[in-house]
Structure 1
Amino acid sequence: MGIKLYYTTVTGSRTVKSQQAEMMRILDSKSIEYKLVDISQGEEVRDEMRNKSGNPTAVPPQLFNEDQYCGNYEMFSEAVESDSVEQFLKLA
């Protein structure tokens, strides 16, 4: 599977929760298959997300196509606004 959404099931942040939910809803509405990767399962998963994104302080949600970084919530939101989600996810 290509698209991976790094997210967390353990957060006190309403913002993170709502961003994650919105990303999942939009991906589902566009019938784009994705794999959820929960960074709360261990530090190594969080570190993997940060290493692959090139940002040592990255927080979820983060999107990847295989190991290729696509972007964070703000970047995804801009792609939705410009109707370029497939290009953003490197599917087109």
Structure 2
Amino acid sequence: MVVRVFTASSLGFMAIKKKQQDVIRFLEANKIKSEEVDITMSEEQRQWMYKNIPPEKEPVQGNPLPPQMFNGDRYCADYDSFFESKGSNTVFSFLVLKSQLASKEEP
């Protein structure tokens, strides 16, 4: 599966841009197959992202902000949850992926 990271290129908030870059860099550094989906370029993709975030993960007010991560069509989480998983070294299970070590050991 490919991890899809929903981002927004036209947001003017530097904090969000840094979070998006952090996720993309981490995935690239760990050679995790990923696809960046820019929701500012596609209304269809933006609506798909909003529709597929579980209700309990939606913000109290407004729309969910990027980055949002999915493994295929399965929702993984937002940046805060991703950051927590990095700190606890559980990113691969968090993103529903086999660990790099396990995949190297398989024939």
Whether TM-score is above 0.5 comes out as: yes
2:73 to 40, 61, 67: 67
Please provide the CA RMSD for this pair. 1.3
Report Cα offsets for 1:10-69 as digits up to 9, x if no partner: 111001100000111111111111011110013221111111113372111000000100
Q: Which whole-Å CA distance do the structure 2 matches of 1:9 and 1:66 have between them? A: 21
Letter in 2 for 1:25: R
SS in 1 for 2:32: coil
Q: What pairs up with 1:12-27 in 2 under 5 angstroms?
A: 12-27=12-27
Counterpart in the other structure of 2:8: 8
SS in 2 for 1:75: helix
Counterpart in the other structure of 1:28: 28
Q: Which whole-Å CA distance do the structure 2 matches of 1:2 and 1:18 have between them? A: 22
Identity of aligned residues (%): 33
Larger radius of gyration: 2
How many residues get paired?
92
Unaligned runs of 5+ in 1: none
Q: Which whole-Å CA distance do the structure 1 matches of 2:63 and 2:31 have between them? A: 30
Unaligned runs of 5+ in 2: 99-107
Counterpart in the other structure of 2:47: 47
TM-score scaled by length of structure 2: 0.80
